Structure 1
Amino acid sequence: MSSETLKNLESFEDIIARAAERKGGRSIVMAMAGANEPKIDVSKIPDDRWLAQFSKQIFQSGFVWRVVEQKWPGFEDTFFNFDIEKMLMMHDEMWEQKCKDERIIRNGKKVMTIKDNAQMIYEVAADHGSFGRFVAKWPKDDVIGLWNYLKKHGARLGGNTGPYALRFLGVDTFLISRDNEAYFRAYKLIDGGINTKKSQSTIQACFNHWQAETGLSFNALSRILSFSVGDNVVGIR
Structure 2
Amino acid sequence: MRTFDEILAIAAERHGGQEAALAGIPAPLSPDEIAMQPDARFLAAMARGIFQAGISWSVVEAKWPGIEEAFHGFEPARVAMIEGDAFDALLSDTRVIRSGPKLAAIRDNAAFLTEVAAEAGSFARKIADWPVTEFDALLDWLKRSGARLGGNTGAYMLRTMGKDGYVLSRDVVGRLNAEGVIDKPPSSRKALAAVQEAFNTWAEDSGLPHTTISRVLARSIG
**Does TM-score exceed 0.5, indicating one fold?**
yes
The alignment status of 1:224 with 2:206, answered yes or no, reads: no
Amino acid at match of 2:173: E
Which letter does structure 2 place at the counterpart of 1:198?
Answer: K
Q: CA deviation at 1:182?
A: 1.6
| Letter paired with 1:127 | E
1: CA distance between counterparts of 2:143 and 2:28?
28
1:158 to 126, 129, 150: 150
Summarize deviations over 1:175-208 as a string: whole Å, max 9, x none.
Answer: 1111111222223221355111111011100000
Q: How many residues align?
A: 220
**CA distance in structure 2 between the partners assigned to 1:39 and 1:166 by the alignment:** 11
Pick the aligned partner of 1:180 from 172, 188, 198: 172
Paired with 1:187 and 1:81, the residues of 2 have a C-alpha distance of 44
Q: What is the TM-score normalised by the length of structure 2? A: 0.95
1:97 aligns with 2:89: yes
Task: Give the counterpart of 1:39 among 29, 46, 56.
Answer: 29
Hey, what's the Cα distance between the residues in 2 that align with 1:192 and 1:166? Answer: 24
**Structure 2 counterpart SS, 1:97:** helix
Distance 1:173 1:69 in 2: 24
Q: Which amino acid aligns with 1:66?
A: S
Structure 2 counterpart of 1:6: none
Name the TM-score, length of structure 1 as normaliser.
0.89
Partners of 1:204 and 1:148 lie apart in 2 by: 12
Matched, 1:146 2:138: yes
Map of 1:5 onto structure 2:
none
**Against the structure 1 CA distance between its residues 197 and 121, is the aligned structure 2 distance closer, same or farther, given a 3 Å change threshold?**
same
Deviations, residues 50-76 of structure 1 (Å, cap 9, x unaligned): 111101100001110011011010111
Cα displacement string for residues 33-91 of structure 1 (whole angstroms, at most 9, x for unaligned residues): 33xx3635111111111111101100001110011011010111111101112112333
Residue 59 of structure 2 corresponds to which residue in structure 1?
A: 67
Offset, 1:214: 0.8
Q: 1:219 to 1:193 in 2, by over 3 A?
A: closer
Which has the higher Rg, Structure 1 or Structure 2? 1
Matching residue of 2:70:
78
Question: What root-mean-square deviation, in Å, do the aligned CA atoms of Structure 1 and Structure 2 show?
Answer: 1.3
Q: Which runs of 5+ in 2 are unaligned?
A: none
From 190, 193, 202, give the equivalent of 1:198: 190
**In structure 2, which of residues 111, 117, 125 is the aligned counterpart of residue 133 of structure 1?**
125
Rounded to whole Å, the distance in 1 between the matches of 2:110 and 2:100 is 16
Distance in 1 (CA, whole Å) between partners of 2:86 and 2:212 is: 43
For the 8 Å contact 2:48–2:60, the answer to whether it is kept is yes
Shift in CA distance, 39/88, structure 1 to aligned 2, threshold 3 Å: closer
| 1:124/1:144 CA distance change after superposition, 3 Å | same
CA–CA distance in structure 2, aligned partners of residues 116 and 99 of structure 1: 15
Q: Which residue of 2 aligns with 1:214?
A: 206
- Which residue does 2:159 correspond to in 1? 167
Unmatched tracts of structure 1, length 5 or more: 1-8, 233-237
* Structure 1 counterpart SS, 2:218: helix
Structure 1 residues 77, 129: CA separation in 2 closer, same or farther (over 3 Å shift)?
same
